[in-house]
Amino acid sequence: MTPNPFHGVLPAMVTPFNDDESIDHDQLRADAQRLETAGVDGLVPVGSTGESATLSHDEHVEVVETVVDAVEDVPVIAGTGSNNTREALELSERAADAGADGLLLISPYYNRPEQQGLIEHYRAVADAVDLPQLLYNVPSRTGQNVEADTVVELAAHENIAGLKAASGDLNQISEIIERTREEEFTVVSGDDGLTLPMLSIGASGAVSVVANVEPERTCAMVGAALSGDYERARALHHELAPLTRALFTETNPIPVAEAMHIRGHAKPIVRSPLTRLSEEHRDELAAILTELDGEAAADLAEADR
């Protein structure tokens, strides 16, 4: 099996669109290469941030193929989750065929299965597809918590290699880390605002929205924490905190698509029923990005002295 790729900084990639809402594959390729050059540890296309909910299955696979073809030396972890086990299985198999190095599987949403249903859902995919798989618990989007006992039971499966934790419940996350220490299993943050606290209790990295916009700073923060330099990590956490808050003032990925536009990486287009970021929040976001640009310039000047 492919080595566990779930560590370090893994940007949850934005899917860029043209004016007619078709996928802008040229921009997608450029984004993947920009992030690889910035030093990220992997890429996560077609997750929630990549608007998987509004992509057709064929578009979904095309995005994975573009990202796989664009990069040279970082793993690509494809979002392949669904609330329909058959669909999740089909998407997972097609992503594997497209060259993905791992899979991200959101827990079934809307139909809200019981914990046994979650176990059977995840095992069905893990039994069929021989790639490392990352469970994804985000109750705010799915309406259902993947409980600690469920994660621990699933962690025993050889293809289930980690958890993207976005429950906001540090007690539960800490319990999962504690109880899976003997497994080949990692926990990564799925909530940028809690990445540093999660790293401090044993998480191995982050699937990060902020890293689309500030990959170097995000890599520096996570790298500092993983090496034990929490003074540096805290300083970077606080530098990024205003941007982190701004990227969640409206439903993700609305703000990050706008931030990518401000930075010149994409058009500010999201697919309906999402809408462009409100003008009020655009101004706030632009001001934060301008300040970060100024801090980056000051850091470069200091380094050149």
Dist. CA 30–CA 32, nearest whole Å:
5
- Single out the catalytic residue among 110, 136, 230, 267: 136
Residue 188 labelled as part of a binding site: no
- Sign, CA dihedral 167-188-3-79, equals positive
78: its two tokens? 């494809």
214: its two tokens? 């500030």
- Single out the catalytic residue among 122, 164, 230, 267: 164
136 in catalytic set = yes
267 in catalytic set = no
Residue 180 labelled as part of a binding site: no
Phi, psi of 136 (to 5 degrees): -135, 115
Burial 206-231 (b: 16+ CB within 10 A, else e): bbbbbbbbbbebbbbbbbbbeeeeee
Cα angle: 290, vertex 294, 300; to 5 degrees: 145
Which residues participate in catalysis according to the annotation? 136, 164
Question: Binding-site residues for pyruvate, please?
Answer: 49, 207
Question: Binding-site residues, please?
Answer: 49, 207
